[in-house]
Amino acid sequence: MDRQRLDMWCERTIVGMVLAILAIGPLATGAVRGQDFAVLGGLAMLGTAAWVVRFWANPSHRIQWPPACWAVLGFVAYAVFQYTQADVEYVARRELMRVLVYGWLFYIVLNNLHHQETTQTLLIALLGLGTLNAMYAVYQVLSQSQSVWHFIKPEGYFGRGSGTYICPNHLAGFLEMLLPIAAAQVFLSRANPVAKVFYGYAALVMLIGIGATISRGGWISIGFALLVFFVVLFRQRSYRLVVVVTVLVVGIGAAFSLTRAYEVQKRFHNVLPGRDQDIRVRPLLWIPAFKMWRDHPVLGVGPGHFDVRFPAYRPILVQARPYWAHNDYLNTLADWGLIGVGIIGAFLTFLAIGFARTTKYVRRTQSDLTVKKSDRAATVLGIGLGLLALLVHSFLDFNMQIPANAIVAVTLMASLTSHLRFATDRYWVTPRWTGRILVTLLACGTFVYLVPRLVDQYREGRLLTRSEEPNVGIHRVALLRAASVVEPNNAETVAKVGECHRLISWEGEEDWEQQIEEAKRWFERAIALNRFDPFPVVRYGMCLDWQKRHEEAERYFDRALALDPNNHYLVMLRGWHEMQKGDFEASKAWFERSWQIKPYDNEFAVKYLAIATARTAAQKK
């Protein structure tokens, strides 16, 4: 095979890998499970390897290196540094792995999918996937389906379309990036009538799909993006009538949905204070994120550490585990500090400047001040507005924490950046020997570091998924132990093994003492791996109580509460500890406090409070 053919096949391989990544991510419920992201990471590494081969097969292979590339490189380097400083290695490593995958994906899309044909292939594939996903969401609403593939959605999402995602908000985030692209192609591209019918149909279906998600953040963001789009069109005389008619039709459809659909009305009723899932919940999560940043302003608390550090900052009104701050900007500020936000801010600034410069050059003006239709202008404007919608939505949600959506966003950012070549040739670079060697060494280093960890992540994810299956029974301990062997630094898995042994010991079999000692050993490991998690600490105290070592146990209960002072469950367990000591009067105060913190869905506090009250009354007789 000659060099030219090898270069061509490498380019096709890269295109195939990118398309596979973009398709698998959303279809695999957003690739939030470890094994699903491992597949995407593996495909990204294959694409990176093919790109490196291109450097050596084609010495004249040129790359684009605009300012945004320096920001991406800087953030990757910063992520590596932050990983070395992190408190919880496992969590930080997962974040670093994502950053590495996203970084290489940005570079390979920027420098291998910039031709008009590959760009159109990329966009058509995304629009087709978005259309099918929106159809699935509409089907879920009409059929009252409670499942995504074979997964059952959480009860709070019933009645809302989520497509192949579990959370409807994340489907809205996916579709809002694509709808403006389809709309721009309809109005501004030179596509043939058949293609325009496809684009128009895709835009309509995705708009209905976003409506089916009943995502308030999704509606606000796509509404803002479409408003900007129609303002841009309205400035052109030939589009004004079309814009007015389109806005009227969309507005009438939205008003009809708001007044007729029960689920829509319920969601907007929940905006009011005092309602279940009211909109105040998000600001309650933003406050801890801001406090974390205030305590660690420069470097933040660590990559992915918002969830790790949240217990100490928990507001009383938030008793669930939030995982993220439900605001990508504050989440980034808390995790990465001012340096991380500064680098990302520089990247977005370069992206915006590039968008503005590119837009000026891809438009083709006529003497009558109207604008000729241009595929490039449609693509640039559509991608820019799609990313704008995501940036608006990021104030209210955590779409960038969902790998599938983050990958689509990174791909669109790279594609938008690649169009800067129409504005200037100054960013084209033909790497010499030193440049090719440097890229090869960086790629090989990433490959050596990342691939074994992606394999382990896939194996661990599969084992953890099997351990959560119904009727797994006694095999759960074995599966969790196997997962802890694959990934010994996962504190949550280690704690789950300890909890299994603790529960077995409480069954009172002959080997209960051996089981309780085994549980304690696993809890000690979990505490060492994540010193911020109160649950291994309190479970260790429960083991000591089971062994009648109440004085020692009390130190662990107090330590757990110091880590998470506003947790209703830990407060309830503190009362349970007092019951084990026989101090029912003291236990009553703890159970009452637990009920005050969470006066709903707190059956254990109610049950134990009744027992403690009865025992106290009996002791006073």
Task: Give residue 424's pLDDT.
Answer: 84
pLDDT digits (tens, 9 = 90+) for 557-580: 999 999 999 999 999 999 999 999
Amino acid identity of 479?
L
Residue 149: closest CA among 127, 126, 128, 133:
133
Query: Which residues, in sequence order, are CB contacts of 373 under 8 Å at separation 6+?
Result: 188, 189, 190
Task: Please give, one letter per residue, the 3-state secondary structure of 342-365.
Answer: HHHHHHHHHHHHHHHHHHHHHCEE
Q: Are 358 and 422 in contact (CB under 8 A)?
A: yes
Question: For residues 100 and 88, what is the distance between their CA atoms, to the nearest angstrom?
Answer: 19
Q: Residue 405 has which token pair?
A: 């959506």
Q: Is the pLDDT of residue 274 over 50?
A: no
CA 305 to chain centre: 14
CB atoms within 10 A of CB 149: 10
Question: For residues 407 and 37, what is the distance between their CA atoms, to the nearest angstrom?
Answer: 11
Question: For residues 620 and 144, what is the distance between their CA atoms, to the nearest angstrom?
Answer: 56
For residue 434, count CB atoms less than 10 angstroms from its CB and return exposed for 0-12, middle for 13-18, buried for 19 or more: exposed
pLDDT digits (tens, 9 = 90+) for 360-415: 887 654 433 345 567 888 999 999 999 999 999 999 999 999 999 999 999 999 99
How large is the greatest C-alpha to C-alpha distance in the chain, in angstroms? 100
Task: Give residue 553's pLDDT.
Answer: 95
| pLDDT, averaged across the chain | 90
Task: Give residue 316's pLDDT.
Answer: 93
Query: Which residues, in sequence order, are CB contacts of 106 under 8 Å at separation 6+?
Result: 72, 410, 413, 414
Q: What number is the average pLDDT over the span 520-549?
A: 96
564 three-state secondary structure: coil
Query: Which residues, in sequence order, are CB contacts of 583 under 8 Å at separation 6+?
Result: none
Amino acid identity of 248?
L
Q: Residue 171 has which token pair?
A: 């489907």
Domain limits, the chain: 3-445
Q: Residue 601 has which token pair?
A: 């869905």
Q: Are 62 and 421 in contact (CB under 8 A)?
A: no
Q: Would you list the DSSP string of 405-471?
A: HHHHHHHHHHHHHHGGGGT-STTEE---HHHHHHHHHHHHHHHHHHHHHHHHHHHHHHHHHHHTSTT
Question: For residues 77 and 69, what is the distance between their CA atoms, to the nearest angstrom?
Answer: 12
pLDDT bracket for residue 441 (50, 70, 90): very high
> Is the C-alpha dihedral spanning 117, 119, 121, 127 positive or negative?
negative
150 three-state secondary structure: coil
Q: What number is the average pLDDT over the span 165-173?
A: 95
Q: Is the pLDDT of residue 88 over 60?
A: yes
pLDDT digits (tens, 9 = 90+) for 549-561: 999 999 999 999 9
Question: For residues 245 and 253, what is the distance between their CA atoms, to the nearest angstrom?
Answer: 12
Q: Residue 591 has which token pair?
A: 């159970």
